[in-house]
Chains A and B, each alone.
Chain A
Amino acid sequence: MTYAHAGHAGGAVLDVASVGALTLASTLAVTYAWAALARRREPRGWSGRRAASFLAGCLLLGVALLPALSPYPPGDFRWHMAQHLLIGMVAPLLLVLGAPVTLLLRTLPRHQGRAVGRVLRSRPARLVANPATALTLNVGGLALLYFTPFYEVVEAHTAVHALVHLHFVAAGYLFAWVIAGPDPAPHRPSVPVRLVVLGAAVAFHALISQLLYAGIGVQVPVGEAERRGAGELMYYGGDLAELLLALALLSTWRPRRAPARTPVVAGT
């Protein structure tokens, strides 16, 4: 049984949601590239690697939502899952590694930069930047989508569909930023805590994909082949994306200061 995917006109190259996503992604990319080029002319410059990472993230966001690129028939659940892996896990990590907030702080005039800093250190930011919040927004979003009748609502309304995509990007970005990345994060917990949170995310992700594969409690009205295929994609794809996040944590962490420093200075 195939489920009619009301959001996409069958076989159309572009629909409203993809046009919106393309516009958003290209706006992000152009703004970042403009700011990065301006910083490159300064003595400190701007890392080409960060720029490449951010622009790749934007590109991925844009193309992952194009229905024409789907290897599956229109409305296939496996394509929906591949999109969520790309826009909710891989693209956010690439964006975070591009250090957009650092670029913003260096682009803005000083007093506006201070305002951004104040926002980052504020109480609401502390609440949102909590790893528990980030984890709940990610895992909770998945659970709501696959284990309640919400998926049918999403498929029936283009606007809701677009909002769900936006939620996946935002929640994925928040999680990647809380766990790793070069951007400032005043409330970011210690590396051991972040490793435990990443472990919990891995476990939940594996659990949800296994339940999807087995069809336990799933309320997504698709055929068994589609459901199993999507569960498999989520299982392997999620592993790869989480592994990349774990390595990003390694590449950007700031180890504790050497405890020996003070005694050495005092002693010599």
Chain B
Amino acid sequence: MATTAAQSRARDGIGLPGVVLGIGLGGFVDGILLHQILQWHHLLTSTDTDNIGVRYYPPDTVHGLEINTLWDGIFHAFTWLAVLVGLALLYSRVTVRARTWASRALWGWVLVGWGVFNLVEGIVDHHILGIHHVRAGEHQTLYDLGFLALGVLLVVAGWLLQRSAPVVDERRAR
């Protein structure tokens, strides 16, 4: 019984750092793949149809792209901050030299964090604020729902993965 409690405590310890790291890495996937390489959207590309009255910055004008690039830069800073804070949290909680990075619990929580990123960004930015969509135009709601579905899938898969993981620091003194 005592081992089970200790095991679950060790797994909880890695939960928050893993999720924060996952939020940052999920942001990178969104920022690099969707904003920059595919250029499906930027942070403010649908502000002509948004719900809070932000000015419209069309991405095909120089000024519009400048403003969108600025906000993408702020988004970029946020994702980096999440990655570095996640690593710092992880460091502050891992006290025994172990192959932390190879731990199934850590990467399970990272997947959960990525899913949380998709859910929060999807619900807030795409649906409530409507400042951009995954791919604006025809079928944009389908893309937005797909983004949310991916989020749910990641959270569930990550949760199952971390639950099946052995404790990270088996040699913990207590």
- Nearest Cβ in chain B — how far from A199, in angstroms? 5
Interfacial chain B residues near A235, Cβ < 8 Å: 36
| Measured CA separation A196–B88 after assembly (Å) | 9
- Of residues 222 to 237 in A, which have CB atoms within 8 Å of B's CB atoms? 232, 235-236
- Of residues 98 to 129 in B, which have CB atoms within 8 Å of A's CB atoms? 98-101
Residue A169 lies at the interface, judged by CB distance under 8 Å to chain B: no
Q: Is the interface of A mostly helix, strand, loop or mixed?
A: helix
Residue B95 lies at the interface, judged by CB distance under 8 Å to chain A: yes
Residue B174 lies at the interface, judged by CB distance under 8 Å to chain A: yes
> Which of A199, A232, A254 contacts B84 (CB under 8 A)?
A199
Indicate if the CB atoms of A258 and B73 lie closer than 8 Å.
no
Interfacial chain B residues near A251, Cβ < 8 Å: 99-101
- How many B residues touch the partner, as a band? 20 to 34
Looking at A16-24, A47-55, A241-249, the stretch in contact with chain B turns out to be A241-249
Indicate if the CB atoms of B73 and A210 lie closer than 8 Å.
yes
Residue of chain A at shortest CB distance from B98: A255
Interfacial chain A residues near B37, Cβ < 8 Å: 236
- Nearest Cβ in chain A — how far from B24, in angstroms? 9
Given A210-B73, A251-B101, A199 contacting B95 (CB threshold 8 A):
no
Q: B interface vs A, CB < 8 Å? A: 25, 28, 32, 36-37, 69, 73, 76-77, 80-81, 83-84, 87-88, 90-91, 94-101, 172-174
30 residue pairs bridging A and B, Cβ less than 8 Å apart:
A191-B87, A191-B88, A192-B91, A195-B84, A199-B81, A199-B84, A202-B80, A206-B73, A206-B77, A210-B69, A210-B73, A236-B37, A239-B32, A240-B32, A243-B28, A246-B83, A246-B84, A250-B100, A250-B101, A251-B101, A255-B91, A255-B95, A255-B98, A257-B95, A258-B96, A260-B95, A260-B173, A260-B174, A261-B173, A264-B173
Indicate if the CB atoms of B95 and A256 lie closer than 8 Å.
yes
- Nearest Cβ in chain A — how far from B22, in angstroms? 13
| Measured CA separation A29–B88 after assembly (Å) | 35
- Nearest Cβ in chain B — how far from A47, in angstroms? 13
Given A195-B84, A239-B28, A253 contacting B91 (CB threshold 8 A):
yes
| Measured CA separation A265–B92 after assembly (Å) | 22
Interfacial chain B residues near A253, Cβ < 8 Å: 91
Sorted nearest first, the 8 A-B pairs with minimum C-beta distance are A258-B95, A251-B101, A191-B91, A255-B94, A264-B173, A250-B101, A195-B84, A199-B84
Residue of chain A at shortest CB distance from B83: A246
Q: A interface vs B, CB < 8 Å? A: 191-192, 195-196, 198-199, 202-203, 206, 210, 213, 232, 235-236, 239-240, 243, 246-247, 249-251, 253-261, 264
Residue of chain A at shortest CB distance from B91: A191
Indicate if the CB atoms of A236 and B80 lie closer than 8 Å.
no
Residue of chain A at shortest CB distance from B93: A255
- Nearest Cβ in chain B — how far from A257, in angstroms? 7
Indicate if the CB atoms of A259 and B95 lie closer than 8 Å.
yes
> Which of B36, B87, B98, B99 contacts A195 (CB under 8 A)?
B87
Q: Add 18 more A-B contacts to A235-B36, A236-B37, A255-B98 (CB < 8 A).
A: A191-B87, A199-B80, A199-B81, A203-B80, A210-B69, A236-B32, A236-B36, A243-B28, A246-B83, A250-B100, A250-B101, A255-B91, A255-B94, A255-B97, A256-B95, A257-B95, A258-B96, A260-B95
| Measured CA separation A256–B95 after assembly (Å) | 6
